[in-house]
Structures are given as C-alpha cells and as structure tokens.
Structure 1
Amino acid sequence: MTLLEGFIILVAGVAAGTINTIVGSGTLITFPTLLAFGVPPVTANASNTIGLVPGAISGAIGYRRELAGQRSRVLRLLSASALGGLLGAVLLLALPAAAFEAVVPALILLGVVLVVTGPRISRWVAKRHEATGGLPHHGAWWVWPAILLAGVYGGYFGAAQGVLLMAIMGIGISETLQRLNGIKNILGAVVNGVSGLFFAFVADIDWQVVVLIALGSVVGGQIGAGVGRRLPDLWLRGTIVVVGLTALVLFIRG
C-alpha cells in the first residue's frame, strides 16, 4: 500500500464515519474505495466492517443525550442486532465468493436507492408518527424480527443499514427521529462489532485497512454527531450515489 492509497483510505474512513452517524450509508464510500485499490471483495467487506466499529461507537457517544430514558428499549433491540449480525457474517463466509460478487451489485444498488429515497421515507415516517399512537415503549411486535433481518443484512454487507433501521424504527416505534437516530448508531455498532469479531478469527483481514478506516471513522463519528442536526444532507446523498454507481461500474466491468 502506497502512502497516497493509505491517505485516501483514511479520508474515506472519515467520510464513512460522518455519513454513518448522520445517514447510515458509509460503506458505500469505503467499500468501493478498497475495491479500487485491488482489495478482494470479501476481504474488503470484512476489513471494512471491523474498521467501522470504532466510528460507530464514536457516533453513538456523540448522540448520548438522545439516548436518555431509552435503556430498556436499546437492550431489547440489541439482542436482535447481535444475532442478525452474527448470522450475516456466517452467510458471508459460508457462501462461495462468487455468490458474494454476484449479489454485491444488487446490494449496492439497493443502498443507493434507499439513500436517494431517504427524504421520502422520512416524510412517510413523520406521517406515521402523526397517525399512530399508543404503541408499546419497545415498539410494535414486528420491530424485533425486522431489526434481526436488518442485522443479517448488515453482517453480510451493510450499505444503507442505517436507513433500513431508521425506516423500521420510525414506523414501529413512537419516538422522535433524533432519538431513534441515537439508537440506530448503537445498533449499527453492535452489528459491525459482532460480525467484525467473527471475521477477525476466521476471515482474511487486511489489518492496515482496518487501522486506517478505524482512525478515520472515529473522527468522522464525532463530526457527524456534532453537525448532524444542522448540516444539509443533499451533498452527502449525492456523494453516496456517485460512489455507489461507480462501484456498480467496477463490478460490471470487472
């Protein structure tokens, strides 16, 4: 790895940590970057997952005020994310590499679509909040299994996992979006942490990549938490879409 490549990966980690805290699609920045430098897809995914864990923790700490009074809710949903993350990680390594390479373009495209439609999802969520009432503190009955499935997706690949989590919780839990965003950051950290721990023991990991993304994502997590309520996300969404489409081209041509 050259000095320039290392610097670019570090910067990508900062961007991913920031975006994950605010939007939840940072993998669409780091994953294509690693592919562009010749890191094999499965190795890139596993290394990226581990590297983003410190950034997710950093973002969760930055949102600690929004987490006040939500301890029991968080603990209940943590179990779903932990189990889902482990199942997703097992699937990544159990399925042949060719299967991962075949499904990644569809996953990236799904992530791009979710990012593009994020504002529409948010408006729909807001309407649901106005129309529903009396939901249990932990949310509707289907929230736990839906969080589990999102965890499986996150453990397997993870791009736009945060958008999925916000859509699920926004519909099924009567709470403000900012407070739900605090939960989202914790659940994302758990999914990446569980799957990353699994990868560390059984997968091919590029530890240089892990360190660079980890350092960058910690900084990005704090940036995202600090400006998340004020920064317009239009340019963030545009960047993710461009990078995501670039990754699609790389896969199709490669």
Structure 2
Amino acid sequence: MTSYGDTTGPLAIAHRGGMALAPENTLAAFGRATSLGLTHLETDVQTTRDRHVVCFHDTTLRRVTGHPGRISDLDLADVRRLRVHGTDRVPTLGEAMAAFPQARFAIDLKDEASIGAMARLLAAHPSWAKRICVAGAWSRWLRRLQDEAPGVTTALGWRSLTSLIACSRGGVRPVGVGTSGGAFAHVPMRLGRLSIHSERVIDRAHELGIRVVVWTVDDPATMRTLLDAGVDGIITDRPDVLRDVLISRDQWTRPSPLAQGREVTRPAPAPPR
C-alpha cells in the first residue's frame, strides 16, 4: 500500500465520496467512486458525544438525515439509527477505512474534538496514518494532530493557505509556509465572489514544494483548464466526469485490481420513529 501522495499524475479525489452519484459520505458513495477506479476519497469528520469519529459534513443533522440537533449531542448508537437521505447509515471513519483498505482519504477536519479522537484511532491502526491527508482545519488544529499522531500528512491550515494565496497575488514569498508541515494546499475555486485559484498560486506553491489540489470542480472544461495550469489534483462531486477527462488526456492512472472497490449494498430503511 503506497502512501497518500505516492502516485503519478494528478490526483482524482471524490468529494464526500462523489456526492453527485450517491448519498454523501456514505459507504455507498465510497464504493461507487472506487468502482470507477478512483483511489482517493474525500470525507468530512465530526465526533459523536461518546468520541467516535464519523464521516459527516454538517455540525447539525437536519439537512442530511432530517433529524433535529447536533451530531456532537448524540452517541454513536443514536447516530447509527439515522439514515442519510433516508437510505444509508452514517459510517465511522474506521469503518470506511476498513471497508476500502486500498483507498486513500482526504479528511476535512470539522471540529476540534475530532483531533484527539482521530489520534486514538490512528494509534489503534498505525498503518492508516500513511493513507490519509488531513485538511480543512485551522493551522493550530493540524499542528496538534501532528503532535498527537506523528507521521500523519496534512494540507496547509487556513492561516497558512491564506498567506500563500495573498502572497502569491502580491508577488512575494510567504513566510514560514514551506516549513509549516503542509504537503498539500487544498485551494477552493472561489470564496463567495472572490476567485481564489490562479496560476500564480500554483507556481508559488510548487516553488515551496507544496502540491495544489483544487475543490470543488464538476465542469469538464474547468477541469481541463486547471490541469493545463499544472494542478496536482482535483476534488469533484463527479468522479465519473473527472475520470473521463483524465483518460482523454492520457493522465489517468489505472489502479491495480486490489485497489478497485465494489459498490456497497444499502441497508433497509430505518423503521419509523
């Protein structure tokens, strides 16, 4: 099993497992993406009241499950009774990594409570650390995670990423970014009305030895523009579209048979509450 970044060619990363093709952050989504041949999956993590790390984006439950309240106010046993869009269970991060042992995960750290919980998970499964890249968090959260889980790969935290973008636009070298421990920069296409991505950001990051991954991109024309500009990876809700674009450019890296997953059969709907 290679480490998270030990691949050739641009990384094709399925956002929340490829949420345009299956319910977000579920085993079904991860299975669908790996069945297409993707080896990299993006997920978000939140932590339950009893300190289990689960694959879930929102702080609150209503949008995805229809249940009121916050995920941090429920124990894992309570969360297991819920269904994502009425069909799929909320998996733990450990379940997802065990179900797809050849996959690598880009993990968007959503709450500070997840730091200690993730460190404990990685202590119990030391080989998993090389399969993940943790991103989407404040720089101090990522430094703490690196202290508690040595060897884990991280992307730039928000403070370092902001410095990289601002300095790239201003034509100056960001101070300390290259030594901050971030091997990747996960750069959004836009923040509100502000366009964030630019070739200057890519060039400056590469000068610092940082690989640039842009999110979230579903349009094939934009994918091609980014690849022409030299991005190192794209996070997308449409892994099928990104795969076709990479194949058309002869940039698709075919996974080994062991790396390809299978689609996951969904459980029966939850009984009425």
The TM-score normalised by the length of structure 2 is 0.27
| Larger fraction in helix | 1
The TM-score normalised by the length of structure 1 is 0.28
| Larger fraction in strand | 2
- Structure showing greater Rg: 2
